[in-house]
Amino acid sequence: MTKFLTLDDLKAKGKRVLVRLDLNLPLRNGYVTDLTRLERSLPTLKELSCQGAKVIILAHLGRPKGINDSLTLVPVFEALKKAMAPTPVFFCKAAQGLGVTAAIQELKEGEVLLLENIRFVEGEEKNDPTFAQEMESWADIYVNDAFSAAHRAHASTEGIAHLLPAYAGRLMEEELTVLDRVFDHPQRPLMAIIGGAKISTKLPLLESLSSKVDVFVIGGAMASTFLAAQGYNVGASLYEPDLLKVAQDFLAKGVTVLLPQDVIVAQNLEEPERSEIRLISEISEHDKIVDIGSLTIQLILEKMKTCHTLLWNGPLGIFETPPFDKGTTAVAQGAAQLTREGSLFSVAGGGDTGAALANANVLKDFTYVSTAGGAFLESLEGKTLPGVMALEKNNIIYKK
C-alpha cells in the first residue's frame, strides 16, 4: 500500500491548512444539483475546523481555460456554507494574488475560506513552479483530499505537495485504502464487472486486471465485440470489428469470462415497448443489443454468490433508457443484498457506474462507491497517479 501521512499524523490547531478538494459539482441555472462530492469532503473539512485550523480550500469547476464567469465557484460556495453551518465559511473572488493573501490573513482558527476556481489561474494546469511557490506562501500545511484529481499533475495536486508537509485527507485515505484491499489483499474469488461502450477504452483496464481477477463479467456494448469475436451475429449492435482479434486474444488467456447468454434487443430505442428477448444465437441483422436478458442476470448472480470481492466499472446495458436498465439494476440489487449480508466486499466507480447504481437505488448498500472517474480508472489500470506519488515522496521527507 502507498505510504502517506494522514490527518491522524497532523496537529492542525492554529495552522494555515491548504486543502485540495473535488468540488466539481453539477450545476443547473446557477444551483448545485448533486451534493455527493461536497458531502464526501465534509469529514476532512469538519475535522480540520474542529481542530482549530485556518482552512483554505483549493477546488476547480469544469475546464475554464482562463477566467470564465459561467464556471465561478460562487454556487458551490453557497452550498458549502449551508453544509458547514454554523462554521463560518468565506469566499475569495480571486485564486491568486494579493486578494488571496489578504483573505487568508483575516481567517480565524476554525474558519474556512474557499478560493475562486483554481483553474482560472494559467499556472495551475501547467503545474507552474512559480504558482506552486505562491501557494506555499499561503499556508503551513497541505492536505490533498481530491483523489479524483490525483491523476493530474497540476500545481494544486502535485506541485504544492513537494513544498509543504503534505497529508491525505479522509476521502483520499479511504479511496487508497479500498483500492489496496481490492488489489493487494482481496478476499477471493474476485469478480470484476466491466461494462461500457468500447473495448478500445477499456483495453488497458482489462489487461491490468487479467492477472488479478478470478471472474470477469463483460457487459454493455463492449460485450457485442466479444460475442462477435466468438462468431455470433450481433446484428445492428454497436461493436468494434477491428478489435475482434484483441477480444479473441483476451478470451484465450484462460481467465473466466461471463458473456451474455441472452439479450434484450430493439430496432428503435424510442420504441422500447417493441423490444424483445433473444438468445445470442437468435439475433437478427436489424436487432440492436440494449441490455442483458434474464438468463444472463441469473448466471451472473449465481456466480457472484461464490465470490467475496466485487469490482464494478460500467453499466450492463443502456441504463439511461428504461426499461433497458433492468439488467444493470437486477445485478446491482443482487450485489447490494450480498453486501448487506456480509458475504461480499463491493467496490464500484468510474464513468457512469455511480449513476447506474444510483438508478438502482443501491449506492448506500455497496461497501464503497468512488466519486472519481479518470483517477479511479487509471488506478485500476495500474498507472501511477502524480498526486498520490507526491504524497508518498512527501512522507519520506516529512515523517518524523
Under the banding of pLDDT at 50, 70 and 90, the label for residue 88 is very high
Whole-number pLDDT of residue 254: 86
Count Cβ neighbours within 10 Å for each residue of 5-30 and write b for 16 or more, e otherwise: bbbeebebeebbbbbbbbbbbebeee
Q: Are residues 13 and 121 in the same domain?
A: yes
pLDDT > 60? residue 400: no
Judge whether 176 and 388 are in contact, CB under 8 Å.
yes
Q: Inform me whether the pLDDT recorded for 311 exceeds 80.
A: yes
> Are 131 and 268 members of one domain?
no
In a domain, 122, yes or no: yes
Q: Which three cell numbers stand for residue 352?
A: 457512469
Cell readout for 276 is: 424483445
337 DSSP 8-state letter: H
Question: Are 157 and 20 contained in the same domain?
Answer: yes
Burial of 267 (0-12, 13-18, 19+ CB in 10 A): middle
Residue 266 within a domain? yes
pLDDT at 197 (0 to 100): 78
Is 315 among the domain residues? yes
Identify the residue whose cell numbers are 442476470.
297
Active-site residue, selected from the candidate residues 15, 16, 37, 202: 37
Q: Tell me, yes or no, whether 355 lies in a domain.
A: yes
The tens digit of pLDDT for each residue in 103-162 reads 999 999 999 999 999 999 999 999 999 999 999 999 999 999 999 999 999 999 999 999
Q: Which of 345, 359, 373, 306 is nearest to 183 (CA)?
A: 345
Whether 215 and 341 map to the same domain: the answer is yes
> In this structure, are 25 and 143 located in the same domain?
yes
**96 in any annotated domain:** yes
CATH code (residue 33): 3.40.50.1260
Give the pLDDT confidence score for residue 242 in this predicted structure. 93
Is residue 120 domain-shared with residue 218, that is, in the same domain?
no
Whole-number Å distance between alpha carbons of 371 and 14: 31
C-alpha cell at 111: 474558519
Q: What is the pLDDT of residue 382?
A: 85
> For the chain, what percent of residues have pLDDT higher than 90?
81
Which residue in 159, 196, 220, 351 is the catalytic one? 351
Residue 360 in domain: yes
CA dist 202 and 199 (Å) reads 5
Q: Are residues 209 and 165 in the same domain?
A: no
Q: Which domain holds residue 115?
A: 7-171+384-398
Number of structural domains the chain divides into: 2
Question: Considering the chain, what percentage of its residues have pLDDT values greater than 70?
Answer: 98
Q: Given a cut of 60, is residue 396 above it in pLDDT?
A: no
The mean pLDDT of 77-98, rounded to a whole number, is: 97
Which of 140-149, 285-294, 348-357 shows the lowest mean pLDDT across its residues? Answer: 348-357
**Does 353 share its domain with 391?**
no
Kindly report the length of the chain: 400
Of the given ranges (62-66, 80-84, 308-312, 334-338), which has the lowest mean pLDDT?
Answer: 62-66
| 348 CB neighbour count, 10 Å cutoff | 24
pLDDT for the residue 273: 85
Whether residues 213 and 326 fall in one domain: yes
Q: 238 and 359 share a domain?
A: yes
Could you tell me the pTM of the whole model?
Answer: 0.89
User: Quick one: pLDDT band at residue 267, thresholds 50, 70, 90?
Assistant: confident
Q: What is the mean pLDDT of residues 231-250?
A: 93
**Looking at the structure, do residues 160 and 205 belong to the same domain, yes or no?**
no
The catalytically annotated residue of 303, 374, 383, 393 is: 374
Active site residue 374: yes
Strands 166-168 and 27-28: unpaired
CA-CA distance, 335 to 357, in Å (whole number)?
Answer: 10
Is 176 part of any domain?
Answer: no
* 293 is annotated as an active-site residue: no
Whether residue 378 is contained in a domain is answered as no
| Residue 398 pLDDT > 60 | no
Annotation marks residue 97 as catalytic: no
Reported confidence tier of residue 395, pLDDT bands at 50, 70, 90: low
Cell of 161: 505537495
**Three cell numbers, residue 211:** 492477472
52 is annotated as an active-site residue: no
259: which residues sit within 8 A by CB, 6+ positions away? 218, 223, 226, 227, 230, 280
User: What average pLDDT does the segment 329-353 reach?
Assistant: 94
Q: Among residues 198, 212, 303, 393, which one is catalytic? A: 198
Average of per-residue pLDDT across 48-62: 97
pLDDT (average), residues 67-73: 95
Across the chain, mean pLDDT equals 93
Q: What is the mean pLDDT of residues 324-337?
A: 97
The Cα 117–Cα 134 span in angstroms is 16
- Domain match, 155 and 199 both: no
Residues 6+ apart with CB under 8 A from 18: 56, 58, 135, 138, 139, 141, 142, 143, 160, 164
